């Protein structure tokens, strides 16, 4: 029995779905670009540098979901999938996932599940561990629910998910986690096969020191 875990943004995707969702809403005129763009850019830079305050970011990122009916959000997301997400889906990512088709696979991402669940489905991965937005009466409240799936939270969420299945990480003969980000070092250190995918400089340096595999899906790593 083997386990394969995949980060989403800048790993399976050649871009960041969280960032692009906010950009998409600004292009639609749903969000005020003058108000949101600078903060969206700053949060993205904080994420890349490893200094993101996840609670502050979620208050910013989830609030727009509470301002519109779920039906309208779903319509916007369908357009977002076609115009923004599908061009970011790497063919080499599909080949990597296919390599693990006989394994238990999950996407593990800090981006909220409203944005990412359709993306996981498009990649053919049934299991998604993501930050969960709170829902009351079928509508989003603008608040997160439970533990954000970020940094050490990814490890916690993975353990809870496996426990819900009557499993633990030690049950798997082999486990993989593919990620681009220094923010994923906590989970990368938990698996038997950590793989740095088009890594940021901090993760690349760490992977080289530790002798971890480094691959590039953007350059069409042969799979």
Kind and range of the H or E run holding 164: helix 152-164
Told to judge if 7 belongs to the known catalytic residues of this protein, a careful annotator would answer: yes
Query: Rounded distance, CA 188 to CA 179, Å?
Result: 8
Under 8 Å between Cβ of 191 and 178: no
E-strand ranges in the chain read 2-6, 104-112, 127-136, 139-145, 174-179, 193-197, 213-215
Buried b (16+ CB within 10 A) or exposed e, 80-110: bbeebbeebbbebbbebbeebeebbbbbbbb
Whether 9 sits among the annotated catalytic residues: the reply is yes
Residue 217 tokens read as 């899906």
Annotated active-site residue in 7, 16, 18, 200: 7
Q: Which among 9, 16, 184, 198 is annotated as catalytic?
A: 9
Residues annotated as part of the active site: 7, 9
């Amino acid at each position: 029995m083997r386990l394969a875990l995949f980060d989403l943004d800048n790993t399976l995707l050649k871009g960041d779905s969280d960032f692009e969702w906010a950009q998409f809403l600004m292009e639609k005129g749903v969000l005020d670009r003058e108000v949101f763009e600078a903060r969206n850019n700053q949060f993205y830079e904080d994420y890349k540098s490893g200094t993101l305050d996840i609670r502050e970011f979620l208050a910013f990122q989830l609030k727009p979901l509470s301002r519109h009916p779920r039906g309208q959000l779903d319509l916007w997301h369908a357009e977002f999938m076609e115009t923004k997400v599908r061009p970011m889906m790497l063919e080499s990512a599909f080949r990597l996932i296919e390599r693990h088709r006989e394994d238990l696979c999950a996407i593990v991402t800090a981006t909220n599940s409203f944005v990412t669940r359709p993306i996981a489905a498009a990649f053919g991965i049934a299991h998604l561990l993501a930050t969960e937005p709170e829902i009351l009466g079928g509508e989003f409240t603008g608040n997160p629910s439970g533990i954000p799936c970020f940094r050490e939270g990814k490890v916690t969420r993975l353990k809870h998910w496996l426990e819900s299945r009557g499993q633990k990480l030690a049950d798997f003969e082999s486990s993989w986690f593919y990620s681009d980000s220094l923010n994923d070092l906590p989970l990368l250190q938990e698996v038997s096969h950590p793989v740095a995918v088009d890594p940021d400089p901090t993760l690349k340096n760490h992977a080289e020191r530790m002798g971890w595999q480094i691959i590039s899906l953007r350059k069409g790593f042969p799979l």
